[in-house]
Amino acid sequence: MAVYMRAAVLHAPGDLRVDDVRDPEPRRGSIVARVLLALTCGTDVKLYKRGHPLAKLPNIIGHEFVGVVEEVGEGVPEDLRGRRFVTMNTSPCGGCFYCSVGRENLCERLGELIIGFTISGAYAERIEIPERIWRRYFYQIQENLDPVEAAFLEPLSTVVHGQRVLGKVEGEWVAVIGSGPIGLLHLQLLKLEGLRVAVIDRHWEKLSVAERLGADITINSRETRVEDMVRNINGGRGFDAVVEAAGKLEAWELALKLVRKGGKILFFGGLPRGTGITIDSYRIHYEEVEILGAFHTTPRDVEKTYKIIESRKLRLKELVSGSKPLEKVQEALESMASGQGLKYIITGR
């Protein structure tokens, strides 16, 4: 067995190097898997460009992946070896107040173990997965399922959680702000509910993917005043719901303008701590605009997500812009940062 493997190590924001690092060995309760493929994620781009409050550097990054179990630690069933599986990047503790009331996404101990943030990630040939994570989330990938689709478990589960927070939409029109992978996942779930969806973004390339995936209208906010477009959509009433999936202050502010009275806004894209937004109190009181936030996911959302993936109702591979070898992770992240690529497959070699 090799003592060293190749892995993409983020030493500091902007300083990502593919190095030889020690091959992981399974500790008690953990498993070591060969990474079949990993996906890039917007969070990786943020982490690579600016760092992240939860991340401990230097660290191997990457947290969306599919693996094959190669080695098992003490106390782990031997028959896991050879299984092709997907898991999550972290797992709630199960013992804190938030876990006990079913709000595991807010678990007080979530930050302890996060693959690609506080523990070694998946842009590597091999990865160790601690017991707390794989014991809760271990989905063996059946022969008929494309591993690329299975690798969407983590991002899709956060979107499934967001949709649960949003709840039933009264009416028919929803706006999704942001046509990145997350916005496009929201779009697809909303379409499954039979809703009409307008997708708003600043890049035509991304909007064309939204169109392919069933968006009823796409609006380029760089070229059009979105508020004017809304007037043509439903007599200017505004959207019955708005999903903000851009993670930009302008998008948050736009969401507040687009929602109709009695409508709901789901703020999905996080902004740095301390970022303030101005809300006209009139909208909340006299117009009963509902303001919701969604962060991360919970075990029941993950469970539901895997079933959705297995149902193959979503066109997940449409969100993949291409495939790159591990040595070119940086290129993939740069392409995403420039607004070109949506998501890349990173292969072990």
Q: Which is nearer to Zn ion, 219 or 336 (CB)?
A: 336
**Minimum Å distance from CB 146 to Zn ion?**
18
**DSSP SS3 for 315:** coil
Q: Can you give 162-198 as a three-state secondary structure string?
A: HHHHHCCCCCCEEEEECCCHHHHHHHHHHHHCCCEEE
Q: Which is nearer to Zn ion, 33 or 107 (CB)?
A: 107
Kindly report the backbone phi and psi dihedral angles of residue 147, in degrees, each rounded to the nearest multiple of 5, phi listed first: -60, -25
Amino acid identity, position 67 = G
Distance of CA 88 to the CA centre of its chain: 11
**For residues 283 and 258, is the Cβ–Cβ distance under 8 A?**
no
**Minimum Å distance from CB 181 to Zn ion?**
9
Q: Which is nearer to Zn ion, 181 or 238 (CB)?
A: 181
Q: Which is nearer to Zn ion, 41 or 198 (CB)?
A: 41
**For residues 261 and 288, is the Cβ–Cβ distance under 8 A?**
yes
**Minimum Å distance from CB 5 to Zn ion?**
22
**Minimum Å distance from CB 296 to Zn ion?**
10
In degrees, rounded to 5, the angle at the alpha carbon of residue 194 between the alpha carbons of residues 168 and 341 is 95
**Minimum Å distance from CB 107 to Zn ion?**
3
**For residues 16 and 329, is the Cβ–Cβ distance under 8 A?**
yes
Q: Which is nearer to Zn ion, 34 or 46 (CB)?
A: 46
Beta strand pairing call for 64-72 and 239-244:
unpaired
Residue spans of alpha helices (H) in the chain: 42-50, 97-100, 131-136, 147-150, 153-166, 181-192, 204-212, 226-233, 249-258, 281-285, 299-311, 329-337
10 Å Cβ neighbour count for 170?
A: 11
Q: Which is nearer to Zn ion, 160 or 289 (CB)?
A: 160
Q: Which is nearer to Zn ion, 145 or 182 (CB)?
A: 182
**Minimum Å distance from CB 97 to Zn ion?**
8
Residues that bind Zn ion (CB under 5 A): 41, 43, 64, 92-93, 96, 99, 107, 155
**For residues 318 and 213, is the Cβ–Cβ distance under 8 A?**
yes
**Minimum Å distance from CB 155 to Zn ion?**
5
DSSP summary character for residue 337: H
Burial (CB count <10 Å: 0-12, 13-18, 19+), residue 287: middle
Q: Which is nearer to Zn ion, 64 or 301 (CB)?
A: 64
Q: Which is nearer to Zn ion, 230 or 326 (CB)?
A: 326
Q: Is 205 left (phi over 0), alpha (psi -120 to 50) or beta?
A: alpha
**Minimum Å distance from CB 87 to Zn ion?**
13
**Minimum Å distance from CB 116 to Zn ion?**
8
